[in-house]
Amino acid sequence: MRLEGKSAVITGAGNGIGRDTALLFAAEGAAVAAVDLNEGAVNNTVSEIMAGGGTAIPIVADVSKDDDVASMIAAAEEAFGRVDVVFNNAGIMHSDDGDAVGTEEAIWDLTMDVNAKGVFLGCKYGIPALRRAGGGSIINTASFVAHLGAATPQVAYTASKGAVMAMTRELAVVHAREGIRVNALCPGPLRTELLMSFLDTEEKKQRRLVHVPMGRFGEAAEMAKAVLWLASDDSSYVTGTEFLVDGGITAAYVTPE
């Protein structure tokens, strides 16, 4: 098992990538602190882990709140004695997020608070915990849209994920000599509730899919396997990367004839 003896904090663990990653990490031997704002959803994730013989605790937290994130890391250390992996995954994609002209300031602020500040706070409190553990791995969820821009406008989301990528690169350089690796996961379009609720018409879905060489949406379970690699010692010489798991979309972003 690739994470045996390690403990991990995973935000957004109530559904999507976070949930699938929590289940996979537990199956690979990790003790998991599953974090989500939705108490029912995160309790379901933890119940499934426990039913499978794994170790996990649920934590209800708002990643945009300093006190919540500090308490989240403290709770994981208290429960497991150490934190080896932090997966800053929680994020939102608001239905009212559009272009720069049409997007309201409140939507911009909310998106930045969760998607960018949430990652910042996860690193702010996660890095000292990893130091106490003698090193470890941080994975921050960014997106392919930070590389390309989105065919369906979502300016706040795209900008927030660009911030995550820039933050990841800097923290990777700053903390490399401490044995702390920091990488960004950049998923392509996924068949998750988050994206499907945003691409709420067949036309919007096809505007994304037409650019994906593999011709389909990715699955959360596929992202979880990528996160597992970044969390494990298999990626021990990997830091500061933008790990694209995107069905080839960034290699061939073209307009159909």
Q: Read off the pLDDT of each residue in 12-19 and give the average, rounded to a whole number.
A: 97
Cβ-Cβ contacts under 8 Å for 106 (sequence gap 6 or more): none
CA–CA distance, 180 with 212 (Å, rounded to integer) = 33
Chain centroid offset of residue 256 CA = 31
Residue 36 and residue 22: Cα distance in Å, rounded?
12
Predicted structure pTM score:
0.94
Place of tokens 């890391």: 73
Known catalytic membership, residue 253: no
What pLDDT is attached to residue 253? 66
Where do the domains of the chain lie, and which CATH numbers do they carry? 7-188+220-242 (3.40.50.720)
Q: Phi-psi category of 183—alpha, beta or left, where left has phi over 0 and alpha has psi -120 to 50?
A: beta
Q: Between residues 214 and 230, which one has the greater pLDDT?
A: 230
pLDDT single digits (tens) 161-215: 999 999 999 999 999 999 999 999 999 888 877 777 777 787 777 777 778 888 8
Degrees to nearest 5, angle at CA 111 with 253 and 14: 90
Q: What is the per-residue pLDDT across 104-153, written as a single tens digit (0 to 9) for each?
A: 999 999 999 999 999 999 999 999 999 999 999 999 999 999 998 877 78
Write out the two tokens for 138: 């941080």
| pLDDT number for residue 255 | 46
User: Buried b / exposed e across 210-231, counting CB within 10 Å, b at 16+?
Assistant: ebbeeeebbebebbbebbbbbb
pLDDT > 80? residue 91? yes
